[in-house]
Structure 1
């Protein structure tokens, strides 16, 4: 069992160019702690409360849905089930992150130290790759965070308006059951059983649960996207350095001396050794990511593929209001984006690994000595080993993502045909 102090990160880690936003949010939730914190056990306590509250919210929603006697429309049921199932998926992810905190901290330390060295020793082209990766992870984060926040703000604004101007429709569950009043949107999203009229659990509890959802769901998935994009950056830089085969990486003034053939071969072999070490580090990091995400991504694969089909069916068969349309499309977008994030970035890693094999061949290997050529041949054979990622039974790549979408559409057609007949 790890100790709390072993989970503390250095202060400059929170200014990491790729993980800055996510680490600061994780520190707020208690998943990571800074070495400056006097009482790091408070971070562990916050993290425990945070994880437990997500599971409690999920359990309350699922309990209410299973005990429900039905819904007035299929759209209400689809919205409630979509919310509950997304919380179930993120509950699995947060619990997995809680259990594997030591692995996450180790990966973050490794990536931070490596990026620090990279910034110090990189040339202008490699720094451009780093800056492009920074812009990319910001874009991906906004891509998933904006729709989540928009959906949350819609529910919050509806709640605030009706609480101020139509309080009888908010705190009168009996009228709602009789059909004389409509429950506010936040109660549809977070149906906490018979607690609607209880202010703390039914009202503030729903507000808190919504805040958890709009922050945690995009935060976790975009953090994993940052880790995977970091691997892609490492492969891009390694490919660039392999093509250059520049022995001045070890000693800038080497080419100013009249090196003999044996000395040149020595330094080129040292460079090959460095390339092999970098490949092994990348493979190990990818394995760590795979161990971290295989259970949550497998759960997402099963849950989201079924839910996407059901939401399409609800949109087609039901009579959704404008608000229902908005939430269903937001849910569809978020779920598809989450699945795409994992499969797309896993594909980028595979492509980067494939390009590495060609980079060994594309260089001026025919000008090197025979020992170096033999070493490059062995490195090419090693680079041909696939760098694929799996989520238990599912291989992560774009083909799998397209298969998920096609499968969801096929099941949707079956449901629609059965409904018509």
Structure 2
């Protein structure tokens, strides 16, 4: 069982420039708690309720689709099944997040400590790199959140309008069961009322389920993308410092070393212009040691991310590839309405966007890892002493080890993403060819 004290985060961490938006949402859902909260134990209860409600919504949607009569058009049930399957995928992700909350908290604390040292001691170029990373994180969050919010608002507004002006088209569960009436948009996506003619389950249930989907689906995936972007940010800093190889700024490097082995006279000599060659080699070796330490920390952080996402990403790989094929088939072979076209397009965009986020950022991590070798070669190594050259050679050999992320049996890279897209389209062509006969 979780210990509440182990999951508490400092108030400063909720203002982290990279994870700020996601941490505030996680605090709302109870996945993390602040040390300033009066009753942080309630966060664990709220998280359990939140996770259970997602699974309950998923079970209700699957139950209704299984018990439903055959659809006249394939496109009629496409959005129902797509919604249910997406909830099944996000249910796996939320359960995984619940089970690995302690791992996430440890990762966040380490990342926040590094970023705090950066903001206090970094130069202008490093701060600009941090700001560009912050802008990038906001962009990818909006990229996935905006379509989900737009689709949710459309369903909510349709329900509000009909509830006020056309109530006979809203509270019509009996007529829908007899096939005499069509449910409104919100009830097509979340048909709880056809299972239970109850106001709380049949009316308020879809409202709450839609809120869960709109907020949870983009939240978890963009948060993992932020963790992966943080890794590339650390790699870019490391590559920049390896290229500079400037021992005069060794004392102010954030996150690479501690000043416990550096005395004030040594710092004064280090920042002066009178450094003997032997002393210069000594400090360069110290700098190389910090590079090795930072590279090991990056590898450890990537391993933690991989352990965090391997199960849900593997599930998304299987579920989304099949679901995209099914939606394309329903779109081409059925006769969907304009609203069905809109929701099918949103589903395809969101599913492709989720897969792209993982595979794209995993590719960036590999590319930044490969750039480290070129950074070592560009640091004027031929002017250094022989011990420093040998140390750089060992660092380059270590940099040649691949830093590939995997989701159980699947490598995360753009080639795998393109294979998923091609596979979904190939399955669609097979289904379309069989439909002709």
Please indicate the TM-score interval, normalised by the length of the shorter structure. Answer: over 0.9
Partner of 1:110: 110
> Mapping of 1:86-97 within 5 angstroms?
86-97=86-97
Partner of 2:403: 387
- The Cα offsets for residues 122-153 of structure 1, whole Å up to 9 and x where unpaired, read as 11111111110111000000000000001101
1:279 aligns with 2:295: yes
1:398 aligns with 2:414: yes
- Secondary structure in 2 aligned to 1:161? helix
Query: Which of 322, 331, 336 is 2:347 aligned to?
Result: 331
Partner of 1:81: 81
- How far, CA to CA, are the matches of 2:341 and 2:197 in structure 1? 28
1:313 aligns with 2:329: yes
Mapped contact 1:144–1:218 kept (Cα < 8 A) = yes
The root-mean-square deviation of aligned C-alpha atoms, in Å, is: 1.1
Alignment length, in residue pairs? 421
Mapped contact 2:177–2:194 kept (Cα < 8 A) = no
- The Cα offsets for residues 266-316 of structure 1, whole Å up to 9 and x where unpaired, read as 100000000001000000000000000000000000000000011011110
- Pick closer, same or farther for the CA change 1:207–1:140 going to 2, 3 Å: same
1:38 aligns with 2:38: yes
- The Cα offsets for residues 164-190 of structure 1, whole Å up to 9 and x where unpaired, read as 222122112222233332101111111
Runs of 4+ in 1 over 3 A off after TM superposition: 193-196
- How far, CA to CA, are the matches of 1:247 and 1:379 in structure 2? 17
- How far, CA to CA, are the matches of 1:82 and 1:322 in structure 2? 17
Mapped contact 2:405–2:411 kept (Cα < 8 A) = yes
User: Which consecutive residues of structure 1, in runs of 5 or more, have no partner in the other structure?
Assistant: none
- How far, CA to CA, are the matches of 1:255 and 1:137 in structure 2? 36
Mapped contact 1:169–1:176 kept (Cα < 8 A) = no
Mapped contact 2:187–2:193 kept (Cα < 8 A) = no
- Secondary structure in 1 aligned to 2:36? coil
* TM-score in terms of structure 1 length: 0.98
Partner of 1:191: 191
Mapped contact 1:9–1:34 kept (Cα < 8 A) = yes
- How far, CA to CA, are the matches of 2:11 and 2:177 in structure 1? 53
Mapped contact 1:172–1:197 kept (Cα < 8 A) = no
- How far, CA to CA, are the matches of 2:98 and 2:197 in structure 1? 33
Mapped contact 1:61–1:193 kept (Cα < 8 A) = no
Q: Offset at 1:76?
A: 2.0
- Secondary structure in 2 aligned to 1:250? helix
Q: Offset at 1:219?
A: 0.5
* TM-score in terms of structure 2 length: 0.95
- How far, CA to CA, are the matches of 1:415 and 1:328 in structure 2? 18
- How far, CA to CA, are the matches of 1:135 and 1:50 in structure 2? 30
- The Cα offsets for residues 106-128 of structure 1, whole Å up to 9 and x where unpaired, read as 00101111100111121111111
- How far, CA to CA, are the matches of 1:130 and 1:235 in structure 2? 12
- How far, CA to CA, are the matches of 1:95 and 1:221 in structure 2? 14
Query: Which of 289, 293, 296 is 2:309 aligned to?
Result: 293
> Mapping of 1:234-253 within 5 angstroms?
234-251=234-251, 253=268
Partner of 1:371: 387
Q: Offset at 1:86?
A: 0.4
User: Which consecutive residues of structure 2, in runs of 5 or more, have no partner in the other structure?
Assistant: 252-266
- How far, CA to CA, are the matches of 2:6 and 2:190 in structure 1? 37
